[in-house]
Chain A
């Protein structure tokens, strides 16, 4: 009996369709974290990410027969399901994580700004945590299409082809959305000249 951890996703799905419980466990174990992270980056809320994981796998259980290997990979199929749930959540919540435009944050950003020694800042735990939080909020503030592209390609490690299959759009569309998203992030994260000239505050103060 082949080790199920070595089976391809397509084989696991086929076995799941035949009622193989262990195949389901293996598939869940392999894909629940990426789904969770995708939902977390898209919604910004851990409870929403948990809900998406649960709903995505429940939908998979019910609709496993709808998977068509010609149309895409099992991963793209599952992410497509998760994406639909994320969209419903975002639509119902209509939450917006505002990018702090206040001067304090701008000044702190000036200390750990992208324009000034980010490499050194990332090695500093406190500054690193601030940068990570700031970038995360900037991603959440992106329009949904761009947020999806950045989340899949920059935060989940998808290549253009896999992202295009998940988003059900051409590769060129993924590339253009990603380029635009990165420019928007740069614009949001770059400190204003006014902020740079203010006296800096102690790192970590909020």
Chain B
């Protein structure tokens, strides 16, 4: 059997753990106790440590049942309850503040969008590379038929007979109201832009610049478009 020796210095480092076997791993305790059996000095140290461990255990047992007074529990439970309520009130206040902020933000954003939209649609549009100003003809439009343009007035720079295509209503447009005389605006634009207004275009020539007449209401929004040929 192989003897594992322990020095007195090593024994001193573990003597208190050996005195309390539950706090020390068993093989090391066996080695230490074996050393104590062969060393009078370490045997005395172990005895002292065991006495101390016993005395400390007695102190622990003597106070095992001690605790806070019984009335502490209901008082602390009450404090717990009150703290929870104050947290809920605080969270409720924070939620209301957040909602109010969201409401104001949404209103502000809607106001900004409306302003941008109104400004955008109120501008006369010139599309395309034509440097000549578009001709705006104020000509009365017979809008007796809803959504239909029946008669177009003459155009100063281009004869009406040049426009041999019919007006095509824009997809999102509303009909002219009966008291809206409407305007015909001649613009230069690419065929692809014409397509965005709902006019059928040939994809191959989408980049070509063409002239088109826009029927625009008093609100500045186009109602219909036709190709000037």
Contacts and interface: CB of A to CB of B under 8 A. Distances in A.
B63 interface: yes
A132 B88 CA distance: 49
B77 A36 contact: no
B55 A131 contact: yes
Nearest to A24: B80
A114 B51 contact: yes
A19 B84 contact: yes
A29 interface: yes
Interface in B132-160: none
B81 interface: yes
B68 A32 contact: yes
Nearest to B63: A37
Contacts of B66: 33, 36-37, 40
Contacts, number: 110
A122 B72 contact: no
A155 B51 contact: no
Give the 3 A-B CB pairs with smallest separation, nearest first: A33-B67, A154-B56, A53-B68
B54 interface: yes
Interface stretch (A3-11, A71-79, A182-190, A195-203): A182-190
Nearest to B48: A186
A139 interface: yes
Interface in B88-105: 88
A135 interface: yes
A154 B23 CA distance: 10
Contacts of A135: 55-56, 58-59
B68 A50 contact: yes
A118 B67 CA distance: 28
Given A25-B73, A33-B67, A62 B54 contact: no
Contacts of B64: 37
A144 interface: no
A62 B56 CA distance: 35
B60 A157 contact: yes
